């Protein structure tokens, strides 16, 4: 087995600024030699884990525990402040609620843009276009700008593109909780096919049944640190108990 | 160097982004063409009318050519910079989701504006044919145009990368760019020509070099020499523009690379 994703002592520090900095103000501040007002906080600290190729792993944790930061590091849109992140294979776009598309472009144009960003050629996309549009099942909306789409429709199209560009690593951030029952079943079937093809899945969810259905292992993050890594059923149960009682013990 | 090899590798992305930027033009060819030339056309008509009125012996309708050979390259540059400044911010939904060479975003703005530039250049040709300028514009000195254009595009890329990156960190950079371009309108020889009034013989030499250390002034001056006066550009001026462009280009590329890994965190 080869390692698909490896985090070694990863930390990510963010600077909290209460307002976006302005160049004019910063220059003035530098001239007056005043220190800039910003606080720092670590969204992740000392995080180490490995995910094997072909594994499906859930990331659990309350709001602000560092789940989304972890996914951004895997997607390599963000770099760690300390430690090292190693990713082997093509990573699909980070699928999140209502994002990942250009709002002014039509669904059709977004398919091309998104697929090209992931390294596909025009010929690749031409060949898969029909299948993607069929899969999304959003009808004539494919020619309308994304900003006219409902949240469910965006999720459908996003999932349809990812399902057809064949990434090695799939990142899902709560995306399956929208969409109607019928589409959720379709997604689940696609994810199963994906798993059978030996691809890697990283899955952020608040829904323990979904995690248990799809993942073998789970990583529980708390306050930016790994609280527990282990079998999905065990970690899910403890996480659920934590949610019910509010105690980490 | 990787700045440019990555663009070749991701040219299909570039194509898609340019198509997106040109959408108005793309959907309706005739209307797109019209909007593209409307702004320079109106500017040229108004300014020509004013100048003909102010300088009755200044050459009349010839002034249209005098103005257009400067205004259209200036317009290209101004649109490039303001477009580049917002290019990374405006594509936040892509930058935060997928890892791809970010320099594609400002470069796509420049390619888009080159298309507009090409379309608007038809106005220059039209003006030169209808109202022949004092110099014989159709001649060998036109071979200088690709050189001038290359420096011009280089300057747009260098400054474009600089402001695209800085605007992610400091959100007022876009406004600074726009105000600066308004100042540039008057600081560059657009609606006047210092040579025409023999201003440099009355000014100290350092003033000449200070004026042309602004590479855009040197480029506009070169365009006008070649297209309007039918002469090769002033080589000292063009060389200075090239040197400043190279310095700005190095600064732009370095600054972009220094910050590009933080873009997704800052959006």
Provide the token pair at A196.
């059978």
Q: Are strands A39-52 and A3-16 parallel, antiparallel or unpaired?
A: antiparallel
> What SS3 class is residue A23?
helix
* Calpha distance B147→B242 (Å, rounded): 10
What is the pLDDT of chain A when averaged over all its residues? 84
B233 pLDDT tier (thresholds 50, 70, 90): very high
What Å distances lie between residue A72 and A43, A75, A103, B256, B262, CA to CA?
A: 12, 5, 21, 21, 12
Q: Is B16 within 8 Å of A116 when comparing Cβ atoms?
A: yes
What would the pLDDT profile of B59-97 be if each residue is shown by its tens digit? 778 888 899 999 999 999 999 999 999 999 988 888 888
Out of A98-102, A130-134, A167-171, A186-190, pick the least confident.
A98-102
Tokens linked to B164: 């695209």
Across the range B178-188, mean pLDDT stands at 94
All residues of chain B having their beta carbon less than 8 Å from the beta carbon of residue A117 are 10, 13, 94, 98, 100
Per-residue confidence at A96, pLDDT binned at 50, 70, 90? Answer: low
Could A99 and B166 be called an inter-chain contact, meaning their C-beta atoms sit closer than 8 Å? Answer: no
Confidence band (pLDDT; 50, 70, 90) for A214? Answer: confident
Read off the tokens for A27: 């220059």
The mean per-residue pLDDT over the stretch B232-258 comes to: 94
Interface test with B, best of A102, A149, A167, A175 (most B CBs within 10 A): A102
Q: How far apart are CA A183 and CA A137, in angstroms?
A: 9
pLDDT band at A47 (very low <50, low <70, confident <90, very high): very high
**Is pLDDT above 90 for A145?**
no
pLDDT digits (tens, 9 = 90+) for A53-75: 989 999 988 888 888 889 889 98
Rounded mean pLDDT of B242-267?
91
Q: Is A39 helix (H, G, I), strand (E, B) or coil?
A: strand
Instruction: Answer whether B20 sits within 8 Å of A109, measured CB to CB.
Output: yes
Q: What is the DSSP letter of B229?
A: S
Distance from CA of B15 to the nearest CA of A (A): 9
Best CA proximity match to A69, nearest among A89, A39, A42: A42
Tokens of A240: 């659920």
Interchain pair B16, A109: CB under 8 A: yes
Distance from CA of B40 to the nearest CA of A (A): 27
Round to the nearest angstrom and report the end-to-end CA distance of chain A: 34
Strand residues in B73-219 grouped as ranges (E) = none
């Amino acid at each position: 087995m080869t390692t698909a994703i490896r985090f070694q002592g990863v930390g990510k520090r963010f600077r909290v600024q209460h307002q976006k900095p302005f160049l004019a103000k910063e220059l003035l501040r530098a001239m007056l030699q005043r220190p800039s007002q910003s606080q720092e906080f670590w969204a992740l600290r000392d995080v180490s884990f490995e995910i094997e190729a072909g594994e499906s792993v859930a990331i659990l944790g309350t709001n602000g525990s560092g789940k989304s930061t972890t996914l951004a590091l895997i997607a390599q849109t963000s770099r760690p402040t300390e430690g090292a992140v190693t990713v082997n294979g093509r990573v699909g776009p980070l699928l999140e609620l209502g994002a990942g598309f250009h709002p002014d472009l039509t669904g059709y144009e977004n398919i091309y843009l998104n697929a090209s960003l992931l390294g596909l050629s025009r010929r690749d996309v031409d060949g898969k276009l029909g299948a993607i549009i069929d899969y999304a099942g959003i009808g004539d909306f494919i020619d309308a700008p994304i900003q006219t789409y409902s949240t469910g429709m965006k999720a459908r199209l996003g999932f349809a593109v990812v399902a057809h560009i064949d990434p090695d690593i799939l990142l899902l951030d709560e995306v399956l909780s929208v969409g109607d029952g019928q589409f959720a079943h379709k997604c689940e079937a696609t994810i199963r096919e994906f798993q059978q093809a030996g691809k890697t899945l990283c899955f952020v969810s608040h829904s323990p049944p979904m995690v248990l259905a799809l993942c073998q292992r789970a990583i529980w993050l708390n306050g930016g640190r790994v609280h527990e890594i282990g079998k999905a059923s065990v970690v899910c149960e403890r996480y659920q108990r934590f949610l019910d009682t509010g105690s980490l013990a | 160097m990787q700045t440019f090899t990555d663009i070749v590798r991701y040219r299909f992305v570039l194509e898609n982004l340019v198509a997106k930027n040109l959408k108005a033009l793309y959907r309706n060819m005739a209307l797109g063409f019209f909007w593209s030339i409307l702004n320079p056309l109106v500017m040229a008509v108004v300014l020509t009318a004013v100048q003909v009125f102010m300088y009755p012996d200044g050459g009349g309708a010839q002034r249209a050519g005098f103005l257009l050979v400067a205004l259209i390259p200036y317009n290209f540059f101004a649109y490039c910079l303001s477009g580049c400044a917002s290019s990374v911010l405006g594509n936040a939904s892509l930058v935060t989701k997928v890892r791809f060479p970010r320099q594609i975003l400002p470069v796509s703005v420049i390619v888009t504006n080159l298309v507009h530039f090409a379309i608007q250049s038809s106005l220059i040709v039209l003006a030169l044919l209808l109202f022949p300028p004092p110099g014989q514009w159709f001649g060998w000195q036109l071979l200088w145009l690709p050189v001038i254009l290359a420096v011009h595009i280089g300057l747009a890329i260098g400054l474009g990368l600089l402001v695209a990156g800085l605007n992610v960190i400091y959100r007022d950079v876009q406004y600074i760019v726009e105000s600066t371009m308004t100042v540039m309108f008057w600081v560059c020889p657009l609606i006047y020509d210092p040579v025409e009034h023999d201003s440099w013989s009355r000014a100290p030499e350092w003033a000449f070099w200070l004026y042309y250390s602004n590479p855009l002034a040197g480029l506009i001056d070169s365009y006008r020499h070649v297209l309007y006066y039918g002469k090769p550009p002033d080589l000292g001026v063009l060389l200075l523009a090239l040197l400043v462009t190279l310095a700005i280009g190095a600064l732009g590329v370095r600054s972009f690379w220094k910050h590009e890994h933080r873009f997704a965190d800052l959006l």
